[in-house]
Structure 1
Amino acid sequence: MKLSRRELLATFLGAPFALAACRDMSAGARFPDGEIVGQNATLGHVLREGRSFEVPADNWRSAKAVIVGGGIAGLSAAWKLSKLNFNDYALLELEKEIGGTSRSGIGSPVNYPWGAHYLPVPFQENAELIELLDEMALTDGRAANGDVVIREQYLCREPEERVFYKGRWYEGLYLNAGASDEDKQQFGQFQQTIDRWIDWRDTSGKRAFVVPSHQCSQDSQVTDLDKISFAEWLRNLGFTSERLVWYCDYACRDDYGLRLEQTSAWAGLFYFCSRVRKSGDESQPFITVPEGNGRFVNYFSERVGDKILRSHMVVSIVPNEKGVDVVCLADNELRGFHCEKVIYASPMFTAPYVIRGFNNDAPFAANEFQHNAWFVANLFLNDRPKPRFAKDFPLAWDNVFYESPSLGYVNATHQKGIDYGPAVWTYYYPMCHEENGRTKLFNYDWRELADVCLTDVARAHPNIYELCDRVDIMRWGHAMISPRPNFIWSETRARAQKPYRNIHFAHTDLSGIALFEEAFYHGVRAAKELQTAQI
């Protein structure tokens, strides 16, 4: 059923705002060009058809290992295998472009992200990730205490964040302007509670929350937090301030694509605690470049590009006595690999559709790995909007709308210090585990989603239609794993990390949270497992 414009905007942005937007938009407003780019949803659905596949005899080749999936986990596994001199492998990627949600686009005046756009500076204990940063020449030695020092040009420049509320821009993400004494008191108490969790250690000295998450304590005081939602945790402690609740809800939408009441309390606290060394410290600064985490994807491609086979859709993985047979569809023909080991670096929910015999003796409940949908839009501007008020906080890297269900936009041009003229803004909208959200998202065409994006941005920048020449949109049907209550510390997640019939799983799903560091950890872990098995 075709929705009216008002119904469309009400679905995404809320009825009151939709009514005002439809009334305010002039009929003659210029609408930019653009298109839907990226993922081909129809390819993945081939897996659900349960076909049988016969590979011609001449289309088989042998390899010691095959990596299935070219996101950060798969690329990290390839990087590590090559460093271990384990070179007889191939990486098969469904799409034309590698990188998953860390991929980026090429444009002017800068390149831009299509998803993940930063990496917090890792603690010194995360040695292998720091090794990668050293290789990429992003570091500038070590501080006296051993912490890695990142070159200044790669650290997010100021101003970093601002929030738009009732017609004005304010500094930061927490809305201090107009806060009542009760708001301020609750925010202070919340920070004290977070500080206690930052400093908490179990009997073996482990932190409650740290990146990567496999280093987190499994003490029941910590794991029991996974049994309730973050919303319930806040209510239990008497945190009811509307501004504080919004702040925590934004955190959940930003990192997990979920609302406060949908998110595990463990995951909510992980967001605030895991990247702070000790109470009183600032959170670790962000490493970022215009193309976001596409910089890492491009580096991996440079290092292992000869092993990557794009547009190779794996349709069948068949464990056998000699190892594993992998069948893929490429250039409209079936091709196969006889290999000893497989690193399965694709979302866990796909495993039963690809791995033959999986459901006969399922090693884990793949349907427990639930994902949510997003859409991302890149807006190509011919100029920047002028500030509406002299005292408005200026354009920042991250620009958030307090009264919108979207996450606002990131200014891809920010890091280059280009503060005037053309720009690229990357707009993020999480579907927040909405019922049928994925189906709903793919039922809308480019014009409808572009209208949602531009209407939302116009709340702060009314002249966006004159400034925006183009809007390209990418729909992520399975953007990230959902850390809902009772999943993070479930038996399902633990079991999925164990090898199954010469298949080693490596994906950020296995951490229950979709972060670069988690994907990197699992890719490196799986690569080392293969190396160990070979010795």
Structure 2
Amino acid sequence: MTEHSNLNEWDRRELLKALLGSAFVGLSSGCRVPTPNFSGELLAPDFSFGHRLRDGFQPTVNTEDWRDVNCVIVGGGIAGLSAAWRLQEAGVSDFVVLEIEDKPGGTALSGEVGEFRFPWGAHYVPTPMAENRALIHLFDQMGIVESLSVDGDPQIKEEFLCRDPEERLFVNGEWIAGLYPSSIATDEDWRQLAEFRAEIDRWVEARDEQGRRMFAIPMSAGSDTPEVVSLDQISMADWMSQHGWTSAPLRWLVDYACRDDYGLTIEQTSAWAGVFYFASRIRRPGDESQPVITWPEGNGRIVDFLVSRVADSILCRHAVCGIAADSDNSGAGVTAFDLASEKAIGFRTPHVIFAAPQFLAPHLIDGFVEARNVTPFQYGSWLVANVHLRDRPQNSGFSMCWDNVIYDSKSLGYVVSTHQTGADHGPTVVTWYYPFAVADPDISRQQLLELDWEHWSEVALSDLEIAHPDIRSLVTRIDCMRWGHAMVQPRPGFVWSDARRLAAKPFRSIHFAGTDLSGIALMEEAFFHGVRSAEEVMQKQEIAFDSIL
């Protein structure tokens, strides 16, 4: 391993081997990263104000700049927007959403260039099952539910389901249908795959004494029996080894699933989270996973809908500086800083919904450090690259799909933004994903965050070139988004820890939302906690409502 502390000083071969893995072991020694002949930029959430607070900046709110409001929502991601939507739907309009970025959405943010829309993060939602009443209600409002079955399961309108072909895998020099590496599987590999599926089906079929599924979305609708909870104490890799599943294709498939949803390898992922990935998305034993709902802009479509309902209450470029909640639960004062006017403003409110990640709470909430421990919460970083192409790359084997994955690469491959539009030829944008946790362990997260645009563009392009040798000549632009604390990580022992369970409980008059409260970073979990926290506030204020949870 090189001694360079700055990855920007590494040569191309060193960088690609460290970040992309065995697919580049045979790469001949390369020179410096080439200068690209296309444009682009490196984007990232705004950390600058946080650094100002860290360095001692404490803005003062003038007396005349305080205002009274019924509820302050901190954070404009899916959780915060969902809380706002739920309040608005119940007839509560006196609230404000404070969002530090230029646009709300968090990791469900989307982008647009010309005729193309594309995701910057979360890009799909599995069709919800009957137990996810609140999400079905939202999707019905969005106009994507055709009907409900007698059991309450939704039938989604065809145009919102991922159209065929959905997914493919590049292995042994060609594309094949599906994500299981069937072209290299032996009879023993197939036997172990069948055993694995049978074990997942066992979890799918089982119900606890309360009639709950063992694994459900949201996770709070699933079981908390000792058999289920004990899975959290070991890694997914150890759980598979206990069953004797050593098949390389099977372990790759499960590892890919963990990297895809959690940004972790099977060695790093809780077995509870690993089994949850599969079992929570299968309605009945023997079924395939629930159909995928998606749009060209990914979950940005959901963000746009929620924003359309509460836009007048959202204050973007407003950074929360501090939250002081009264010890008698009578209310709180929230200080924010308008980054556009460089002016501090204050809000007096009976209730706060903290829809930001837990790691920020000790820095923003007075008295929180003495009451709660958020150390067990760990977060993963990601790099997302949107690659603009003037035409489709050449193809070897199965045709281009919505989801396109490269076997043995540490990336997650790419999704095609134009897939849902039916445009299978001509210009497009492909969205490439890379979780930092899978990089060479000798490389720190901070080193990866310091990589510049030229290097990330080269990493993304080099990965894509494995399957598309001609793709470099088709690129017109590459934009990269660097997510520093994008997803909570369900490492062994965390999901069912006391710290995780306590985090969702109110602290004085502050209620909490956010996907990290579930220990897994899913849109459905963020939405659930947003709705739950809003209903908690309405209950505390004795506002009449019918719960949609």
Please classify the TM superposition score into its range, dividing by the shorter chain length.
over 0.9
Q: Which residue of 2 aligns with 1:245?
A: 251
Which of 474, 479, 492 is equivalent to 2:481? 474
The Cα of 1:269 is off from its aligned counterpart by: 0.1
1:352 and 2:362 aligned: yes
| Map of 1:488 onto structure 2 | 495
Residues 1:39 and 2:39 aligned together: no
Give 1:41 shift: 2.7
Answer yes or no: is 1:366 the counterpart of 2:374: yes
Matched, 1:17 2:27: no
Query: Which of 325, 333, 337 is matched with 2:347 structurally?
Result: 337
- TM-superposed deviation, 1:20: 1.7
Question: CA 1:312 to 1:192, structure 2 compared with 1: closer, same or farther past 3 Å?
Answer: same
Tell me the residue number matched to 1:402.
Answer: 407
Task: Give 1:428's aligned residue.
Answer: 433
Residue 451 of structure 1 corresponds to which residue in structure 2?
458
Equivalent AA in structure 2 for residue 142 of structure 1: L
Looking at structure 2, the residues matched to 37 and 29 of structure 1 have their Cα atoms a distance apart, in angstroms, of 19
Residue 423 of structure 2 corresponds to: 418
Alpha-carbon offset, residue 441 of structure 1: 2.2
Task: Report the AA paired with residue 495 of structure 1.
Answer: L
Aligned residue among 297, 313, 316 for 1:291 = 297
C-alpha offsets along residues 197-244 of structure 1, whole Å, 9 cap, x if unaligned?
111111221111000000111110110000000000000110000111
Cα distance change, pair 18–181 in 1 and its aligned pair in 2 (3 A): closer
Distance 1:358 1:525, change over 3 A: same
- Change over 3 Å in CA distance of 1:15–1:126 after alignment to 2: closer
CA contact (8 A) 2:410 2:438 kept: no
Q: 1:478 to 1:530 in 2, by over 3 A?
A: same
What is the 5 A alignment of 1:259-298?
Answer: 259-298=265-304
Structure 2 residue aligned with 1:225:
231
Q: CA deviation at 1:510?
A: 0.5
Q: Aligned runs of 1:63-462 on 2, under 5 Å?
A: 63-143=69-149, 145-320=151-326, 322-330=330-338, 331=340, 332-359=342-369, 361-362=370-371, 364-388=372-396, 392-432=397-437, 437-462=444-469
Structure 2 counterpart of 1:533, from 533, 537, 540: 540
Among 513, 516, 523, which residue is 2:523 paired with? Answer: 516
| Deviation for aligned residue 1:4 | 2.1
Deviations 1:480-520 (A, max 9, x none): 00000111111001111110010001010000000011000
Q: Secondary structure at the match of 1:432?
A: helix
| Counterpart for residue 501 of structure 1 | 508
Cα deviations by residue, 1:429-486 (Å, 9 ceiling, x for unpaired): 0012766643122211100100000011011111111111000000000010000011
1:411 partner amino acid? V
User: SS at the partner of 1:309?
Assistant: strand
Q: Is the 8 A contact 1:31 1:465 kept in 2?
A: no
Q: What is the CA-CA distance between 1:531 and the residue it aligns to?
A: 0.4
Two-structure CA RMSD over aligned residues (Å): 1.8
Q: Is the 8 A contact 2:33 2:454 kept in 1?
A: no
Closer, same or farther: CA 462–30 of 1 in aligned 2, 3 Å: farther
Moved more, 437-446 or 290-299: 437-446
**Residue 40 to residue 27, structure 1, CA distance change in 2 (3 Å):** closer
Cα pair distance change 1:68/1:26, threshold 3 Å: closer
Q: CA deviation at 1:109?
A: 3.8
Give the CA deviation at 1:62: 1.2
- Preserved contact between residue 29 and residue 465 of structure 1 (Cα < 8 Å): no
Mapped to 2, the partners of 1:480 and 1:328 lie a distance apart of 25
Pair 268,376 (structure 1): closer, same or farther in 2 beyond 3 Å = same
Corresponding letter in the other structure for 2:186: S
165-174 or 257-266, larger mean C-alpha shift? 165-174
Per the alignment, do residues 14 and 433 of structure 1 end up closer, same or farther by CA in structure 2, a change over 3 Å counting?
closer
CA contact (8 A) 2:23 2:408 kept: no
Please give the per-residue CA displacement for 1:267-305, whole angstroms capped at 9, x wherever unaligned.
Answer: 000000001111011211011010000000001111000
Matched-pair contact (CA < 8 Å) for 1:383–1:422: yes
SS of equivalent residue, structure 2 residue 41: strand
Residues in 1 aligned to 2:459 and 2:381: alpha-carbon distance in whole angstroms: 16
SS at match of 1:426: strand
SS in 1 for 2:405: strand
**TM-score, normalisation: structure 2:** 0.93
Deviates more, 1:85-94 or 1:2-11: 2-11
1:372 maps to a residue whose letter is G
Q: Deviations over 1:138-172 (max 9, x none)?
A: 11122455421111110000111101112111110
Runs of 4+ in 1 over 4 A off after TM superposition: 25-30, 433-437
State the SS of the aligned residue for 1:249: helix
CA contact (8 A) 1:313 1:329 kept: yes
Partner SS for 2:216:
coil
Residues in 1 aligned to 2:52 and 2:221: alpha-carbon distance in whole angstroms: 38
Q: Structure 1 stretch 340-349 or stretch 432-441: which is displaced more?
A: 432-441
- Cα deviation code 1:406-425 (max 9, x no counterpart): 00000111111100000010
Gaps of 5+ in 2: 1-5, 543-549
